[in-house]
Structure 1
């Protein structure tokens, strides 16, 4: 055997045991007559001791090893003189009587320790080394544990885990498809699934009333901290289910995950908030409810006082930051530049300080007197010592700016505690949204989302007013999951296609197989998909999903470790019936 124990297993009760360990050399310390080696595997670290006076040959051999060498040692467990309370194995060490070098190592390009000196790109290039580090190993172990909890819960709820195809037909689902050429059907292409949406609906038609899959999905879209071109989702569908059935089932799953993984009790039932309320009070459809600081519209209250910025604005709104009336002019100027950044888009920032003595100081003092400013403060329920921040302009841009400003001030006030989890369901989304460029409606979620029954009559008359029977699970401002009640009636599905501007031929070409399936008895069904990577990164208290994925892509969608994507040989292209047509600019 290469080992009798792992490097994180031995304790004081093992003193006197003869053992064999194998692992990687973390550190080597030569202290005169004694040499110490920290031996590491994914379970922990154990200190090895070599006494030059007792065994000079063994000590000399120990001094031949370097960092990240893979070695095997044999010896007996002894009690440490200088115990390390920071290590679970810190009460013992191994008095070694044999050492074997199993594999040598070059000097690693960065330190493989809790904190490393390697930058992001360097660690991505040597991801197999970065994955040896304890933080990454904890996160991969956490991912495994969450996956097991998901499977345990859904299996207990009589869900079947069923795999669906990876090479499918291209269907519009909100992002670009990754396409795969077919050698056997030249000139035609598969697409990689953005989700298994149509297949899980077909499984409902097939009578498998409770389906789930922890599945890879693919979207060719611009990347950010919570996006990867290939990602994992917990995909689920239920027959004979309404919205309340789905919400009840999956908030119970979420509660079980947080309890069994973090020992955190989430309060159920989760709060439910209409989309319209989320946008009005928080400026986005995934509000962070760990703190208040709600947005208040001031348009009617502040217009008509000859302040052109307000009088010409479509929308005026603000937030109240508690206890920040002592912000200096310099602080306000920095905050103004912050909201004027292109990603925020605000033209400027109006402030009102509610001073501790009850007086007011504002950047619009010459247009509004103290009585009027006090009325503003009452709108926000502000108190002496608070700071009111106001933006004005086009409504979508201003709401976005206020949303970002609210989150920034929440950070500055320490209100976004990563140890606190506040979930909610956002419901009653618009079914469709108008796209000015294409001059047509697009599905807010996807074309198979059912309208609210009471709004269905508006689908032909005024699609923009129709609410969807859809729901998103949001925790701490992160969209963790989303889904909807599906259209199971063929006629209603055809109306939806018409509202989205599909011709009958286009609908038949894209979704004819699903429409045909609906002819043979489709049950009412509903479903949801959780962003598995996002869920794990939230539990791990990380801002990016990258470190809970074993081999992620960088911000340009590249795997710098294996240098992918890359070119392919001419003969491979010829087999596929393809020829590249790149102009000089494309290849530079």
Structure 2
């Protein structure tokens, strides 16, 4: 890449080619590596754009200075571009056909002994990497991922603008919002005792933008949540592609976001396959029963099936007894093609025990004397006919196995899902080098809260129910079964088992919203107090609207092929949400607290 010529360089360190041979050039950068070969001193000079090999003869006036200079010092080198001999060409380097014969040297900045190395990319402790992030960011792989992140965001913007979306900025200093996580609070100096909150998401603002008549909004939005660190979410802050549209239903939102994400992933797939533009739609209930998760990894071909009927009244008293005592108990089967060995089954059983379970029942099939037979304690207890019925239902054969999980589905589905994931990975059944998207749809509007013996919101309380508004308004609390069976216009988008986003068609009618909260036990005064601003806006004319907000960090993680956000965020926090480089958070000065009319009350130190 060519850049503007300056006093410091005529070319970048990634720019020189064979066509430059014979030219006098100036390049500047960091001393990446030094090598002494038979008296010749080789310097690999690195900048943002690449690397150029530079060479000095022993009689050069700059030889001794460069020989003593530590790596990562910043220098400017001048000299003539020469062609490398055929046997020394580096085909892995864009500049590998040439080198610079150094004639002039200016040391711009001499490096001290490094706390971590840049060349070779060894694995350093997180604390060292984050404390000296400016050095860590020089490493080739991390540097490239940060550039990749910028290119991905640029592509997102372009794709949204092409679909007539306009980017608007929403406030950073705002009011506390009920997003489900803790707010970061900011004290107000001119309003003593009052606090702003950093936005957990621009949710209410983007809906108010629709009420204001702006038809298609998007923003690469910073979001702030005071929550514990996770591998797929940075502590403190993250970014999302926030978007909202007016006069749309669920399919309209899908029709916009599918080509954006599919096109984005194809652009940066680097040889990997991507789902078709029309992503699979999987109802929430089906996802739970088939994959044991509402964010299924479709690269794994395994599907869970209910096999309760084969255990009811059987000789396997553990499951049969559970079924007899509780009509809600089910037995689910996780097929394991090629997993038909006692060693693998025992390994899975041990894994289940480490997960806090009593074990993981199984059957595996083998061929003995030309006959196919089921092996394991369960097969012996339920008998040949039931064992064959299970095998036929699941389409299994000799050399295959099946694992069983029993219980009330809401209590055991997550464990069944984890078992499915482990079986798929351990048996190498999952597709590789592919991105598989799906929508999870038809989330339940409400669920039963057993502890409080009442109906509660299941997921997003601000979604429109999948029922005509007038019919919904005619319901009352006595319509218990109808409410628990009601679906909402909510949807999640999932890729390779990673939830990229939740979204919804919003409840834009104040009367329907108040009624929806009433069913969950919240009176109108509670809703008016918490959400009065948005409710009042809706009372002056609100269009039907909906949106979604895919996580930028998670998108970049998937495309970069990494599993930790630290690898795609320029200046991340550590697991305790600390910025080790800038020493934040830090104690404020007494003067600052006085200005803010605040006093800190620290927790008492634990004794012992």
User: If the TM-score is normalised by the length of the shorter chain, which range does it land in?
Assistant: over 0.9
User: In the alignment, is the contact (CA less than 8 A) between 1:537 and 1:543 conserved in 2?
Assistant: yes
Name which of 491, 501, 518 aligns with 1:471: 491
User: In the alignment, is the contact (CA less than 8 A) between 1:458 and 1:465 conserved in 2?
Assistant: no
1:494-523 residue CA offsets vs partner (Å, 9 max, x unmatched) = 112223333322212211111111111111
**What is residue 434 of structure 2 aligned with on the other side?**
420
**Alpha carbons of 1:458 and 1:148: their partners in 2 closer, same or farther (altered >3 Å)?**
farther
The worse-fitting range, judged by mean Cα deviation, of 112-121 and 67-76 is: 112-121
Partners of 1:104 and 1:500 in 2: how far apart? 66
User: In the alignment, is the contact (CA less than 8 A) between 2:233 and 2:553 conserved in 1?
Assistant: no
Alignment of 1:480-491 (within 5 A): 480-491=500-511
User: In the alignment, is the contact (CA less than 8 A) between 1:83 and 1:91 conserved in 2?
Assistant: yes
Are 2:66 and 1:62 aligned? yes
**Offset of residue 583 of structure 1:** 3.7
Partners of 1:434 and 1:176 in 2: how far apart? 25
1:357-399 residue CA offsets vs partner (Å, 9 max, x unmatched) = 5222113244122222111111211122111111223433421
**Offset of residue 259 of structure 1:** 2.5
Are 2:326 and 1:337 aligned? no
**What is residue 239 of structure 1 aligned with on the other side?**
246
**TM-score computed with the length of structure 2 as normaliser:** 0.91
**What is residue 546 of structure 1 aligned with on the other side?**
566
| Secondary structure of the structure 1 residue equivalent to 2:381 | coil
**Alpha carbons of 1:325 and 1:464: their partners in 2 closer, same or farther (altered >3 Å)?**
same
**Alpha carbons of 1:579 and 1:436: their partners in 2 closer, same or farther (altered >3 Å)?**
farther
Partners of 2:560 and 2:476 in 1: how far apart? 43
User: In the alignment, is the contact (CA less than 8 A) between 1:21 and 1:73 conserved in 2?
Assistant: yes
**What is residue 155 of structure 1 aligned with on the other side?**
161
| Secondary structure of the structure 1 residue equivalent to 2:35 | strand
Are 2:46 and 1:40 aligned? yes
Partners of 2:583 and 2:352 in 1: how far apart? 38
Name which of 346, 359, 363 aligns with 1:348: 359
Name which of 367, 389, 396 aligns with 1:375: 389
**What is residue 537 of structure 1 aligned with on the other side?**
557
Are 2:58 and 1:52 aligned? yes
**What is residue 288 of structure 1 aligned with on the other side?**
297
**Offset of residue 132 of structure 1:** 0.8
Partners of 2:113 and 2:459 in 1: how far apart? 50
1:565-584 residue CA offsets vs partner (Å, 9 max, x unmatched) = 22222332232222222342
**What is residue 71 of structure 1 aligned with on the other side?**
75
The worse-fitting range, judged by mean Cα deviation, of 376-385 and 331-340 is: 331-340
User: In the alignment, is the contact (CA less than 8 A) between 2:500 and 2:550 conserved in 1?
Assistant: yes
Partners of 1:550 and 1:468 in 2: how far apart? 38
**What is residue 266 of structure 1 aligned with on the other side?**
275
**Alpha carbons of 1:308 and 1:549: their partners in 2 closer, same or farther (altered >3 Å)?**
same
User: How many residues end up aligned between the 2 structures?
Assistant: 582
Partners of 1:426 and 1:28 in 2: how far apart? 54
Partners of 1:477 and 1:260 in 2: how far apart? 21
Name which of 326, 331, 338 aligns with 1:316: 331
**What is residue 30 of structure 2 aligned with on the other side?**
24
Name which of 559, 562, 567 aligns with 2:582: 562
Alignment of 1:29-178 (within 5 A): 29-53=35-59, 55=60, 57-81=61-85, 82-113=88-119, 115-178=121-184
**Offset of residue 440 of structure 1:** 5.5
Partners of 1:326 and 1:333 in 2: how far apart? 9
Are 2:516 and 1:516 aligned? no
**Offset of residue 183 of structure 1:** 1.8
Partners of 2:446 and 2:172 in 1: how far apart? 28
1:447-506 residue CA offsets vs partner (Å, 9 max, x unmatched) = 321111258465743333221101111111111122110111111111122233333222
The worse-fitting range, judged by mean Cα deviation, of 249-258 and 109-118 is: 109-118
| Secondary structure of the structure 2 residue equivalent to 1:123 | helix
1:237-283 residue CA offsets vs partner (Å, 9 max, x unmatched) = 00011111000110011122122223655312111110010000001
| Secondary structure of the structure 2 residue equivalent to 1:407 | helix
**Offset of residue 2 of structure 1:** 1.1
User: In the alignment, is the contact (CA less than 8 A) between 2:300 and 2:421 conserved in 1?
Assistant: no
Question: Please, what is the CA RMSD of the aligned residues?
Answer: 2.1
Are 2:420 and 1:406 aligned? yes
**Offset of residue 439 of structure 1:** 6.0
**Alpha carbons of 1:566 and 1:501: their partners in 2 closer, same or farther (altered >3 Å)?**
farther
User: In the alignment, is the contact (CA less than 8 A) between 1:114 and 1:135 conserved in 2?
Assistant: no
